Structure 1
């Protein structure tokens, strides 16, 4: 029989399922010790009933998804395990699908004046880990980016700063799965061109107002402006300091890349778009962040007497500063102040498995401990036994 609450030895992790691989199964791992009965699972906070939903099944507590579908089975999964001493929940695992087909619905004609700007929307299918390109009039080669044309690798949209008469035709968005090289094509978007004059730059693509970057990573800032004449793009730091010497600027697309990010690279960066009609500036702040959340204080199992008072505290570091939640037997717990959980006048019903969760937008950490509530006499016997065991050791 188990003498302690359950403890995870393996928790589920984020997974990407390449839909074009031909596989028909997704396997999500979860293992625990502490003699618990089989696990059960949640997806997006809802219990999974493998008895009524034939697409889910359990294999020694691990979750198997049969014939997965990106709408029905994409989401955040969590494993739950329990025994006589309580319940704990695993970390959350995101299941994503790499690429679907475009809708083949016909796209509306876009009418634009010569010299004006235009944005063509890609409207990609559900995806992960992809590269965007565009094809013009069914040509075998992809449309080339230059000072006038830009393809965002964040949205897939095609931006043309100044339309010319030769731009009239059909445009097709192409999405390639970087994992499997599978490629899908959108329906063509027809573009009709009419005549117009000059106007000042308008920055249409820009980087976020605030961006957290981890040490050693590479960060790419996109900036593209519409306008006539075609605007030039330049970069600067808002504090007047020179740009880091290691930066790479792609003069054809206007992208700025900072490799091997360090604390001294943090700050406010500005993109300047300029032509003979005027100037426009976009800015955003790069903030150096601790790469991962890390515990600095975690929990220990506790044996407490009835009517005693308990205060548990957990602490983690990370940027942005983590928030804290507490769970008892897998359920949300109230009366929590930051990373501290206080229970006054303990009762037998307070026994169970407790978990502290530290989280920010970049991840989460789970720490667990067991609270055993016993009578005062039994507590003295346990403490005495522990003391004797310590002396023998």
Structure 2
């Protein structure tokens, strides 16, 4: 009996409500039996909603009942394994938070200004647009940079840049457009205002940096940029420098983000009934990955016989029903990785 192995796994997708979705799955050997799970529960064809065919699953009209995490299960004589989860979600665009009067931002002539934009929740990620001097800016220009966070950075600020700015969010899948109710007023001076904080965030692996000047809610602005850094794997160095007029001291922070990886995977094992066996699955990543164990595509829950400690699974008093395929699955929000091994149980002597 050969161990089933996926040659094609379903992929996450976003679709507008009422749209159709097709997920694909293939496994070796060709005799492997394929089935599907939705949020961990077995899924069958439902007329007009979900159609399951050989190697594919089709959602006729995406709605709340058919959105969720889909997994393909491949089963054979050796046991069963699960594919990686594919998240099927509906496209949507939320509303901007209500604001009062436009907030004021100060910048020095010839310096750099940052105009924040707290985007509403959007699936997929919204495209940002800024109203600059009465016209809508959809892409960055030489001195107007639309950052991945949704903020607008103005380089080499001039007196002509002062005025009102507003941002908008556009969902490319639904076609919805939201404009923030109030914007920001940029004031330009010829001297650096007292109390201005400079935030410098350097992404070392891409050799790029941003310098941000902001005289309002500096800590909030710093957190916003830090959140943006956290969204991209790699080494980051973040420093917070305070103007000479402040008594605060500069601080620095270094951290890394890393998708999960398995340095020591599972190995096939053979044991007699009544004996004991253990599997090791050493995973790494930042933040620390969440580790889950599966037996024949079903979640394995700790018991007096099944002991889970860190990266080790130990089975005591092995019984015939313990035979089959075991998976260790690790994820941390940046990625998904898994390893598979087979346990053969022989009659005891």
Same fold (TM over 0.5): yes
Pairwise TM-score range, normalised by the shorter structure: 0.5 to 0.7
**Is the Cα–Cα contact under 8 Å of residues 325 and 340 in structure 2 kept in the other structure?**
yes
**Residue 300 in 1 paired to residue 268 in 2?**
yes
2:38 corresponds to 1:42? yes
Counterpart for residue 20 of structure 2: 25
Q: Structure 2: how far apart are the matches of 1:151 and 1:275?
A: 29
Shift of 1:87: 2.9
User: Is 1:68 aligned to 2:62, yes or no?
Assistant: yes
What residue in structure 1 maps to residue 52 of structure 2?
58
1:126 aligns with 123
Hey, what's the Cα distance between the residues in 2 that align with 1:10 and 1:143? Answer: 39
Partners of 1:286 and 1:365 in 2: CA distance: 22
User: Structure 1 residues 191 and 348, CA, compared in 2 at 3 Å: closer, same or farther?
Assistant: closer
1:270 aligns with 239
TM-score, normalised via structure 1 length: 0.60
1:218–1:15: structure 2 CA closer, same or farther, 3 Å change rule? farther
Partner of 1:234: none
CA contact (8 A) 1:30 1:79 kept: yes
> Does residue 218 in structure 1 map to residue 206 in structure 2?
yes
Residues 1:325 and 2:288 aligned together:
no
Taking a change above 3 Å as real, the CA distance of residues 192 and 270 of structure 1, as seen in their structure-2 partners, is closer
Return the alpha-carbon distance in structure 2 between the equivalents of residues 358 and 168 of structure 1.
50
Alpha-carbon deviations, 1:100-125, whole Å to 9, x = none? 4565x895542446859975533253
Structure 1: which 5+ residue stretches go unaligned?
Answer: 229-252, 378-393
Task: Give the aligned partner of residue 186 of structure 1.
Answer: 178
List per-residue Cα deviations over 1:350-385 (Å, max 9, x = no partner): 2232222244443232222333333247xxxxxxxx
* 2-structure distance, mates of 1:66, 1:170: 42
Q: Deviations over 1:208-261 (max 9, x none)?
A: 9xx9x8xxx537555533228xxxxxxxxxxxxxxxxxxxxxxxx9xxx9xxx9
Question: What is the aligned residue count?
Answer: 318
TM-score norm. by structure 2 comes to 0.66
Separation of aligned partners in 1, 2:14 and 2:137? 29
CA 1:292/1:375 → structure 2, altered by over 3 Å: closer, same or farther?
closer
**SS of aligned partner of 1:200:** coil
Pairwise CA RMSD: 4.9
For 1:268 and 1:193, locate their aligned partners in 2 and report how far apart those are by CA, in whole Å.
31
Contact 2:103 2:185 in 1 (8 A): yes
Where in structure 2 are the equivalents of 1:195-206 lying within 5 Å? 199-202=194-197
